[in-house]
Chain A
Amino acid sequence: MPNREARNAVDLDDLYRDVILDHYRQPRNRGALESASIAAEGFNPSCGDEIQLSILLEDETVSALRFGGSGCSISQSSASMLTEALAGRSLADARELSGHVQDMLTDDGFDLDQVDLGDLEALSGVARFPVRIKCGLLAWKVLDQALARAAGEEPREYDDIPTRITSN
């Protein structure tokens, strides 16, 4: 059994991976797209984290994304990584990826080896900090809302993370 202090250090390193801290300090694609096809926002009422996403869709493809908002390193880096990971993906592909990331954060049985999530794998450690999972999920819930609308579906309501479409 590893000594307790060492185990703790590993725990925090799991959460604050270099990739996450890098995206927090130097967020990618921060701002808003004036030409956005769709924009959505969400917030976490229990802690005040906010994310806005604006998305440009061209021929069923996510061609550009920007994010805005404020909050902790997990919520903001998750959004920053989202914008990098999704650019250039088809709508269907983007929604599938979002499902994988959310499963990774919430499903104990999720197998990291089954899907290639690239840098997004850095978020896997968040699952071990139950009170921080919502921080990691926020941007993805906002994305779901936006992409559901883009696909002509009725967006889902999340009781604990209110999201809404702000323009489309």
Chain B
Amino acid sequence: MTTAALDIAAIRADFPILSREVRGRPLVYLDNAATTQKPRQVIEALTHYYSNTNANIHRGLHTLAEEATAAYEATRSKTAEFIGAAHPQEIVFTRNTTESLNLLAYTLGARLRPDDEIILSALEHHSNLVPWQLLAQRSGAKLRFIELTEDGEFDLDQARSLFNPRTRIVSVAHMSNVLGAIAPVADLVEFARAVDATVILDAAQSAPHMPVDVGALGVDFAAFSAHKMLGPTGVGVLWGKRELLADLDPFLGGGEMISVVNREESTWAALPHKFEAGTPNIADVIAFSAALDYLSAVGMQTVRDHDYALTAYAMERLSTIEGMEIYGPPGPERRGAVVAFNYADIHAHDIATILDSGGVAVRAGHHCAQPLMRVLQVPATARASFYLYNRESEIDALVDGLREAGSRFGLSV
């Protein structure tokens, strides 16, 4: 597979930061699972908003407020379209994936009883674990965990055995931020439907990297973050089926989310405003629109194909280094553009420091997935993650940096 479908040079020219140097070398940015870089279209949308449109939304009767409201709501519609939502009302803007998942843990959680069960997996990011732990403490509900196969994928037989009439919620990462493994959503939805459980998808890694159609997936809720898909920080998305969102009580109370407020009680605004208390992150939501346009113009299948080719190349190059351990599914077919690894006895932090000295940015640590590190029996891993502006030559730079690390630590390279 080649990456000819993408004009990488033209794409790179859209990202101002990619032309900077780090420690005297061209930046090689391979930490896209943490956050992605921003194209000038997004940066310009942000400054354009503050220079031309800035106003509070949904209340003002003046021109600026009207324009800002229209732009904010247009992003909502665009987001709905981007993920195949049935209606813009199904899109709630939050601060990030974490807040979206907390919103669900609080609102869905209010209905849980002691001994109800919540199914998660062994590879969850802390953002899809800790909110459920807090809920379990409040409600007396029990957490159950889908275990992983040797290849780091969900053990489907064991997963099936977890579902029972007490299962109320199943919430899993669509794509692991460490292993890259893509969850078997169709199977989980089937298991969940049989016991009438709610299915939540943490799509923080998948929405930026592959076509995601929430309708086709058949889940009930999904959460993701704008900043991992070319957009600004501070914007999260919660998608939920309209009738399910409508049925939930509010999460945060305040302005914007009300209909009639009396001294003792209030009534709630219609969806989605019921879940958007207070002045939202108007500017960043509006700039997120430019990110969605950018990804749509490229095409999410093209992004996925490019990720696939880079991941295959990275795994092939890394596996030529003696002492390299790569975690997760063996090939790129069932994984995203994330490659976590350890190199002999060199600690991941030392690898990251040495790579950084050559301008190569990777993540090192537990990746907010400490329970997964325990399953892998490592304290930490290094992780390279790719996006549409990365090239094979940058993976070569990664490999060169790793050889430098090996030679510093006295390994035969």
A36 and B23 alpha carbons, distance in the complex (Å): 45
Residue contact B353 to A48, C-beta cutoff 8 Å = no
Q: Please encode chain B, from 344 to 378, with 1 for each CB lying within 8 Å of some chain A CB and 0 for all others.
A: 00111110011001100000111000100100000
Q: Is the CB of A7 within 8 A of B365?
A: no
User: Counting CB contacts under 8 A, is A155 at the interface?
Assistant: no
- A69-77, A91-99, A145-153, A158-166: which lies at the B interface? A69-77
User: B335: shortest Cβ distance to chain A, in Å?
Assistant: 24
Cβ of A24: which chain B residues have Cβ within 8 Å of it?
A: 409
A71 and B24 contacting across the interface, CB-CB below 8 Å = no
The answer to whether B357 and A8 touch across the interface, beta carbons within 8 angstroms, is: yes
Whether the Cβ atoms of B347 and A73 lie closer than 8 Å is yes
Q: Is the interface of B mostly helix, strand, loop or mixed?
A: mixed
B358 A8 Cβ-Cβ under 8 A: yes
Contact B349 A47 (CB under 8 A): yes
Contact residues in A for B350 (Cβ distance below 8 Å): 16, 72-74
| B408 nearest CB neighbor, chain A only | A16
Find chain A residues with CB under 8 A from B366 CB.
Answer: 47-48
Q: Is the CB of A21 within 8 A of B380?
A: no
Across the interface, do A21 and B379 meet the contact criterion of CB distance under 8 Å?
Answer: no
CA of A16 to CA of B23 in the docked complex: distance in angstroms? 17
Residue in B24, B25, B357 whose CB lies within 8 Å of A12: B357
The main secondary structure of chain A at its interface with chain B is: helix
Q: Do A12 and B408 contact each other (CB < 8 Å), given the known contacts A5-B24, A48-B366, A48-B380?
A: yes
Please name all residues of chain A whose beta carbon is closer than 8 Å to the beta carbon of B379 when the two chains form the complex: 48-50, 70-71
Q: How many residues of A contact B (CB 8 A)?
A: 25
Q: Which residues of B contact A48 (CB under 8 A)?
A: 365-366, 370, 373, 379-380
Contact check, A47 vs B380: say whether CB atoms are below 8 A apart: yes
The answer to whether A21 and B358 touch (CB under 8 A), given A5-B24, A72-B349, A73-B347, is no
Q: Do B353 and A8 have beta carbons less than 8 Å apart?
A: no
Chain A: minimal CB distance from B7 (Å): 30
Quick check: is A135 within 8 A (CB to CB) of the other chain? yes
Within 8 Å by CB of B24, from A8, A15, A25, A47, lies: A8
Point out the residues of chain A lying under 8 angstroms from B410, CB to CB: 21, 25
CA distance A50 to B347 in the complex (A): 13
CA separation between A24 and B408, bound complex, in Å?
Answer: 12
- A132 in contact with B23 (CB, 8 Å): no
Q: Do residues B365 and A12 form an inter-chain contact, with CB atoms below 8 A? A: no
Q: Is there a chain B Cβ closer than 8 Å to A35's Cβ?
A: no
B348, B349, B409, B410 pick with most chain A CB within 10 angstroms: B349
A129 touches B24 (CB 8 A): no
Give every chain B residue within 8 A of A21 (Cβ-Cβ).
Answer: 408-410
Once bound together, how far apart are the Cα atoms of A138 and B353, in whole Å? Answer: 18
Q: List 18 A-B contacts (CB under 8 A).
A: A4-B23, A4-B25, A5-B24, A8-B23, A8-B24, A11-B23, A11-B357, A15-B353, A21-B408, A25-B409, A25-B410, A46-B365, A47-B380, A48-B379, A48-B380, A49-B349, A72-B348, A132-B353
5 extra interface residue pairs, beta carbon distance < 8 Å, beyond A4-B23, A47-B349, A48-B373: A8-B357, A12-B353, A48-B370, A49-B349, A71-B347
